[in-house]
Chains A and B, each alone.
Chain A
Amino acid sequence: MIAVLARPPIARLLRSGRGRTVVLAWSALAVAFAVTARSSGSLHAADHALLGAFAPLVLPLLTYVLAGAVIGARSLSLSAAPMVALGARPTQATAATMSVAIAACALSSGLLAIVVDVVAHASADPPLGRDAVACAYAGGLGGGVYASWFALGASFGKRGVGRPVLLVLDWVLGAGDGPTALVTPRAHIRNLLGGSAPLQLSERTSALALVVLALACVTLAIRRVRAK
């Protein structure tokens, strides 16, 4: 059933010309940052590209646009409404929409992280193969968590006004290493990519925190749709 219900969000994602253009633009920007970091002669160019541009800027904005394309620039419940009108359960229709958003964001973020790492890779960076796998893992996990984060945001307001609010919250709260950064994807993704850790958490703990955050967002979003 979930596979059937996933068809409309997939169609929205693949047939949305605007979404495709914006995604390509953000990807091109990430690659441009990688090329710039590499050409600057830095020995840790991949680290600079990933921590300086990919994690704080490209990843959240790319997933923001992708999640918006899947949900359809509306609230999460309105996005699922056509399926509900055809007899689907609201929770299943919402779960299908969120699954598509999470898969699309995880896949594209993971791939883009690999591309950025490969393009910017310099001599002092860790061995390319191992580093690319680590980047794919951090990017993919981060993309998936951002998708659920923005999906939860889209469950607020008729036009999903909570989505941009959560983007700003992530930007503001996730910038530091204090306790407030613990609830944002940004701080944990930075930790996974080798940047500063919130409250000195280990990478493993940050990965676990991201999984918990994603599960919490999915559960809350579905509960909000069911309650309506």
Chain B
Amino acid sequence: MITLEGVAARRSPLALSNISVTWGPGVHALLGASADGGPLLLALIAGAIRPRVGRVRVLYGAATDAPVRPQVAFVPLEPALPGAMRVAEVFQIAAAIRGERKPDVADRLGALGLATLAGRAVGTLSREEARAVAVAEAITSMRVRVLLIEEPLLSLDARAVNRLPELLRERSRAGWTIVIATASVRDAAELADDCVLLRGGVVVGQSSCVDLFARSSTSARLRIVTSDSRALAAALAREERVDAVARRDTSVTVRGRDLLELARAAARAIVASGVSLTELRVEPPSLEEARVAVGGMAAQIAEEQP
């Protein structure tokens, strides 16, 4: 549903070069910092900027084609909503533009837990609320088939954050093509099926997000919040499978080679030190670790080929 062929684009100071990707229905992640060009690529797909070379096809034409445009929704980090209107009026106008029937605004906002915002003036919304309204309009539209979101879980109303992942999965099962641009490996792994890694405006790798998350964990990390971090840190330091222990306030971060072994070691240390556990969290790999992992995967594939 989205095809980019040898695309290059520039919007100072960002640039993209030689991007060739094809995405069908599902949730896809563009993984990289903002400066690596993810948001620029989304704007390119949405037709907000033109490629200098190459071809961008969305659904059955260019994103700027009249029949395609209402079926493409783009939610950037700073969404543009008509400032002098109320939220309900924005939904009515959007429905008229997209060619939908009159919307049940409360119902559509309710999908993200935002029904109370229907009567609010757009100018009075916080940045997080405005973004949530823009996401709600796009994700509950009957016409949209291609959804592009920059940092879907960032600067978003807390009510929407809880419901968005499931809604994205629902829409992808219904045949939507959803592309997210994010710098968070955790968000990409949680929301997307596959990842395209960008660096400096160039695609440096492509992989399943779960694979990427697992392979990036050359050093697994656990963060444990406890009642007595000093005692737990001491107990963890005695564990063989733990490579490093770092303590900060009430939390302890441990590093090891294998996540399962690390979890077992943490459990033993918690029991041995007699502390009470408040929170245990797997720390996601960093963007750099993800890039290294993708590089390793590419090298492995090259070695396996005759």
Contacts and interface: CB of A to CB of B under 8 A. Distances in A.
A111 to B, nearest CB: 23
A83 interface: yes
Interface SS of A by simple majority:
helix
Interface stretch (A1-9, A21-29, A54-62): A1-9
Nearest to B122: A82
Given A86-B137, A87-B69, A87-B98, A8 B79 contact: no
A7 B89 contact: yes
Given A81-B80, A82-B80, A87 B85 contact: no
B301 interface: no
Contacts of B96: 1, 4
A11 B84 CA distance: 6
B137 A7 contact: no
Contact of A5 (B48, B66, B69, B97): B97
B81 interface: yes
B82 A88 contact: no
A8 B72 contact: no
B81 A82 contact: yes
Contact of B98 (A7, A15, A78, A86): A86
Contacts of A86: 90, 93-94, 97-98, 137
B66 to A, nearest CB: 7
Interface in A58-106: 72, 78, 81-89
Given A82-B81, A85-B80, A89-B66, A8 B73 contact: no
A17 to B, nearest CB: 11
Contact of A88 (B48, B73, B97, B137): B97
B70 interface: yes
B69 A89 contact: yes
A81 B70 CA distance: 14
Nearest to B64: A89
Interface string B93-129: 1101110000000000000000000000000000000
B85 A85 contact: no
B153 to A, nearest CB: 20
Interface of A: 1, 4-5, 7-8, 11-12, 15-16, 72, 78, 81-89
Closest 4 CB pairs of A and B: A8-B82, A87-B70, A11-B84, A4-B96
A146 to B, nearest CB: 22
Contacts of A4: 93, 96-97
A154 to B, nearest CB: 16
Given A7-B89, A7-B93, A87-B97, A12 B83 contact: yes
With most chain A CB atoms within 10 A of its CB, the pick from B84, B98, B137 is B84
Contact of A85 (B64, B71, B79): B79
Contacts of A89: 64, 66, 69
Nearest to A81: B80
With most chain B CB atoms within 10 A of its CB, the pick from A72, A81, A87 is A87
A12 B123 CA distance: 11
Contacts of B81: 82, 85
A63 B224 CA distance: 64
A87 B72 contact: yes
Contacts of B66: 89
Contacts of B82: 8, 11, 82-83
A12 B81 CA distance: 12
B74 interface: yes
A84 B137 CA distance: 14
Nearest to B68: A87
Contacts of B72: 87
Given A7-B89, A87-B70, A87-B73, A15 B97 contact: no
Nearest to A86: B94
Contacts of A7: 85, 89, 93
Contacts of B94: 86-87
